[in-house]
Amino acid sequence: MVEATSADAAWTYLLAGASVDVIFIDIRMPGSMDGVELALRAKDEYPDIPVILTSGASPPPSVDDHRFIGKPYDVSYVASVLADYLL
């Protein structure tokens, strides 16, 4: 597992060619882009990498193609969603 401190850092990590199985990101991230923009970029550039968005707020309409898990969330549910993508 790799943790990025911003959407920009996560994007840089992806562009570097790192092996990524799933992206799990909060909609609200610091930096020049938020989690939604990262999700949309990842969908365009890396369509085989699943994206799961999370937030304490309602999902914006632009994330309808992505998996969304609202906060607070049940850890066992998150683990089961991740397992579905990784197995």
Read off the pLDDT of residues 15-72 as tens digits, 9 standing for 90 and up. Answer: 999 899 999 999 998 889 999 999 999 999 999 999 999 998 877 776 665 688 889 9
Question: According to CATH, what is the number of the domain 20-86?
Answer: 3.40.50.2300
Read off the pLDDT of residues 1-20 as tens digits, 9 standing for 90 and up. Answer: 899 999 999 999 999 998 99
Helix (H, G, I), strand (E, B) or coil at 83: helix
Output the six-digit token pair for 49: 């990498």
Nearest CA-CA partner of 22 in 8, 37, 36, 43:
43
Sorted by sequence, the CB contacts under 8 Å of residue 48 that are 6+ apart come out as none
Output the six-digit token pair for 21: 């199985």
pTM of the model: 0.85
